[in-house]
């Protein structure tokens, strides 16, 4: 039954993605991408990843606000025409080559519903599940991985986020600091 | 076959990022690719009929500090979940950066069209 829901949600996400790509109105495209994000959040619930689902909803709301801020109240939210013909043809041919290469990879993939760690004993995932509670005291194994076993990963994530925010503020600032001081003086 | 649909989602995003000439559309294509990759990684760890990796009181033996074998065999893979959690938050940061570049470009050139911006350079 869970597989049925997963198929329905995946089809919903693919349809929303096609609409988001092909619609001429930018605001509709942004809202369709939001639909993909919330569908993905439901998918995570069905895939037994509640932590990811919660994070995805929060990030999705913030991302939608940022995207709508960029597209709303702009004069030219309607798009006219595609790129020149030759470039489009070359891109589509390259994309088809990637599709063919990707389909070959599917033969080597494990069956859906059989995680990779189930085939190999004593992988990191198995160790985290069996020893996570004793080592870190967290009943949620994802928490024990996220905040204890791989805490440096989380530190790096915070650094990347901080850098991105600094970059965004530096780009969005309309006046340089020097000019601000001059206008005050 | 869920993997194939996920791959299709990724290819739609890649098509959008490569072919479209509106800057916001390119950002949306990158967002779609991010969703597809996150979903794919979570799918790799999914166990059919599995439970979320949250340990119940019944599955834990306080004396020997051992987890019940029943939970070990039923839990989905927690490692991709922890890594995807990082990736989702980073995607928000990169989205903010990309959109701020779009807003500044619009303020300077008055258009989101990348071919127009290329034409205005010289």
Q: Which residues of B20-47 are buried (b: 16+ CB within 10 A; e: fewer)?
A: bbbbbbbbbbbbbbbbbbbbbbbbbbbb
Q: Is B120 on the interface with A (CB under 8 A)?
A: no
Question: Rounded to the nearest 5 degrees, what angle is found at the Cα of B8, between the Cα atoms of A29 and A91?
Answer: 80
Kindly list the structural domains of chain B, giving each domain's residue range(s) and its CATH number in brackets, ordered by start: 2-50+78-119 (1.10.287.3510)
Q: Is B74 on the interface with A (CB under 8 A)?
A: no
CA neighbor of B24 nearest in space, from A69, A56, A36: A69
Residues of chain B contacting residue A171, judged by C-beta atoms under 8 Å apart: 97, 100-101, 104
* Cβ–Cβ below 8 Å for B51 and A48: yes
Reading the block at residue B17, the tokens are 């990022």
Burial of residue A152 (number of CB atoms within 10 Å: 0-12, 13-18, 19+): exposed
If you compute the radius of gyration of chain B from its CA atoms, what whole number of angstroms results? 22
Residues of chain A contacting residue B70, judged by C-beta atoms under 8 Å apart: none
* Cβ–Cβ below 8 Å for A157 and B90: yes
| pLDDT digit string, tens, across residues A119-129 | 677 788 888 88
Residues of chain A contacting residue B25, judged by C-beta atoms under 8 Å apart: 21, 26, 29, 79
User: Nearest Cβ partner of B47 from A36, A51, A113?
Assistant: A113
Q: For each of chain B's 122 residues, which pLDDT tens digit applies?
A: 788 889 999 999 999 998 888 888 899 999 999 999 999 999 888 888 888 888 887 777 777 777 777 777 788 888 889 999 999 999 999 999 999 988 888 888 877 888 777 766 55
- Between A18-22, A72-76, A172-176, B92-96, the lowest mean confidence (pLDDT) is in A72-76
Those residues whose C-beta lies under 8 Å from the C-beta of residue B93, and which sit 6 or more positions away, are A160, A161, A163, A164, A165
CA neighbor of B56 nearest in space, from B40, B43, B67: B67
pLDDT attached to residue B39: 92
3-state secondary structure of A77: coil
Residue ranges per domain, chain A?
Answer: 1-81
User: Nearest Cβ partner of A161 from B49, B53, B90?
Assistant: B90
ipTM for the assembly: 0.87
Residues of chain A contacting residue B64, judged by C-beta atoms under 8 Å apart: none
Q: How far apart, in Å, do the first and last CA atoms of chain B sit?
A: 49
């Amino acid at each position: 039954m869970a597989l049925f829901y997963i198929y329905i949600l995946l089809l919903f996400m693919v349809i929303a993605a096609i609409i988001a790509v092909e619609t001429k109105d930018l605001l509709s495209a942004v809202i369709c991408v939001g639909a993909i994000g919330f569908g993905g959040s439901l998918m995570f619930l069905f895939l037994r990843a509640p932590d990811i689902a919660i994070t995805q909803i929060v990030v999705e709301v913030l991302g939608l606000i940022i995207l709508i801020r960029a597209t709303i109240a702009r004069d030219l939210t309607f798009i006219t025409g595609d790129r020149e013909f030759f470039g489009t043809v070359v891109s589509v041919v390259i994309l088809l080559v990637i599709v063919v290469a990707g389909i070959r990879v599917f033969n080597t993939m494990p069956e859906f519903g059989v995680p990779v760690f189930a085939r190999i004993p004593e992988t990191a995932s198995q160790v985290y599940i069996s020893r996570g509670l004793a080592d870190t005291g967290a009943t949620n194994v994802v928490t024990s991985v996220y905040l204890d076993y791989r805490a440096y990963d989380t530190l790096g994530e915070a650094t990347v986020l901080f850098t991105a925010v600094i970059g965004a503020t530096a780009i969005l600032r309309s006046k340089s600091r020097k000019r601000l001081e001059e206008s005050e003086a | 076959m869920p993997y194939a649909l996920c791959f299709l989602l990724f290819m739609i995003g890649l098509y959008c990022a490569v072919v479209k000439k509106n800057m916001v559309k390119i950002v949306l294509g990158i967002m779609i690719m991010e969703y597809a990759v996150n979903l794919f990684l979570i799918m790799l760890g999914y166990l059919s009929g599995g439970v979320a990796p949250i340990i119940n009181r019944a599955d834990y033996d306080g004396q020997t500090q051992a987890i019940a074998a029943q939970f070990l065999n039923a839990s989905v893979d927690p490692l991709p979940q922890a890594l995807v959690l990082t990736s989702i938050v980073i995607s928000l940061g990169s989205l903010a950066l990309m959109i701020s570049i779009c807003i500044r470009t619009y303020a300077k050139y008055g258009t989101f069209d990348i071919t127009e911006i290329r034409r205005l350079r010289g």
